[in-house]
Amino acid sequence: MTDLEKGRTWWMFQENFYVENEGLTGDDIKAFAMEKPGNKKK
């Protein structure tokens, strides 16, 4: 979901939500999420 007025995008990946305002792609969010402690890389 994107809020154009505030320039934010909400992403959901593996039951977690992420909010960003830097224009990241889905692949960027996935890479970030996979690097979080406790997540197993597949």
Distances (CA, A) of 24 to 7, 14, 36: 12, 17, 17
Q: Identify the domain containing residue 29 by its residue range.
A: 2-35
- Predicted local distance difference test score (pLDDT) of residue 8: 96
Kindly state whether residue 6 falls inside one of the protein's structural domains.
Answer: yes
pTM higher than the cut 0.85? no
- Predicted local distance difference test score (pLDDT) of residue 39: 58
- Predicted local distance difference test score (pLDDT) of residue 10: 95
How many domains does the chain fold into?
A: 1
- Predicted local distance difference test score (pLDDT) of residue 3: 93
- Predicted local distance difference test score (pLDDT) of residue 28: 93
Buried b vs exposed e over 3-39: b needs ≥16 C-beta within 10 Å?
eeeeeebebeeeeeebeeeeeeeeeebeeeeeeeeee
> What six digits make up the tokens of 7?
């320039």
All residue ranges of the chain with pLDDT < 70 are 37-42
Sign of CA dihedral 24, 29, 32, 37: positive
- Predicted local distance difference test score (pLDDT) of residue 25: 92
Kindly state whether residue 41 falls inside one of the protein's structural domains.
Answer: no
Kindly state whether residue 42 falls inside one of the protein's structural domains.
Answer: no
Kindly state whether residue 20 falls inside one of the protein's structural domains.
Answer: yes
